[in-house]
Amino acid sequence: MTAPAPTPAAPLVTLDSVGFRYGNVRALRDVSLDVRAGEVTCVLGDNGAGKSTLIKLVTGLLRPTEGTLCIDGEPVRLSGPRQALARGIAAVHQDLATVPLMPVWRNFFLGSELTRGPWPLRRLDIAAMKATADRELRGMGIELPDLEQPVGSLSGGQRQSVAIARAVHFGARVLVLDEPTAALGVKQSGVVLRYVAAARERGLGVVLITHNPHHAYLVGDHFAVLRLGAVELSAPRSEVTLEQLTHHMSGGAELAALKHELARTAGVDTDHLPDEG
């Protein structure tokens, strides 16, 4: 007798028919998405597709004007990023919220410094912060020769990796990465993607926002493509190929429709135009 398939764990975050309006402008409409522990959910889309608005909804900067946001199956109305972080949702933005001239260990604890001693003689516990930062970075596979070096002296990929390790240390269960490879070369993008995979292996739910289908397909478990605020494609890795993902990202469906529309227009020869996809 065949054993029943295991029941998948409940999503950490669920967007159920979520929409958002900026006045009369509908930035998102009817977006449904699950973020699960130990999975990388890739959200792709061109400029203006609604990716930034989606980030703001998940991290508490905005509240949906339509639909429901759930955390651990519970409908919530987040009042801001601090409340989202208290529920285990952390965002790593492109600017990384780091101070370039401060050392790595200080940036790791920026805003959450460890102290020791009674008030009013309380002081920074520098030794504890250095030891913790070193341990957490190594736990993510990040080995830096000198935690005293300014974080601005690190490569782009290393800075992204430090920000990821920091979010994991401070209790993130859901990690939202906003275009982490957008300004990086191939080698540094590979560094970041390795740490995205490491976060998944540690059981986090990762939301990777990107416009690069090749990067997404290297680490993604589920893919959602946004176009003009709506979900054009939502599929697990087993049901979509890199070619199909690239086709959707490049607007292949729209180009194909345009070709056929032009073909019906009298006097327009489109035989020389290749099929998209």
Residues 121-147: pLDDT tens digits?
889 999 999 999 999 888 878 888 889
Q: What is the pLDDT of residue 6?
A: 47
Q: What is the mean pLDDT of residues 16-40?
A: 93
Residue spans of the domains in the chain: they are 13-240, 241-277
- Could you say which architecture CATH assigns to the domain 13-240? 3-Layer(aba) Sandwich (3.40)
Question: What's the residue count for the chain?
Answer: 277
Residues 235-257: pLDDT tens digits?
999 999 999 999 888 766 565 66
Is the pLDDT assigned to residue 268 strictly greater than 90? no
Q: Where are the alpha helices (DSSP H) in the chain?
A: 51-58, 81-86, 104-108, 126-139, 156-169, 186-201, 213-219, 242-249, 252-263
pTM for this predicted structure = 0.82
Q: Are 58 and 89 in contact (CB under 8 A)?
A: yes
Q: Parallel, antiparallel, or unpaired for β 39-45 and 222-227?
A: parallel
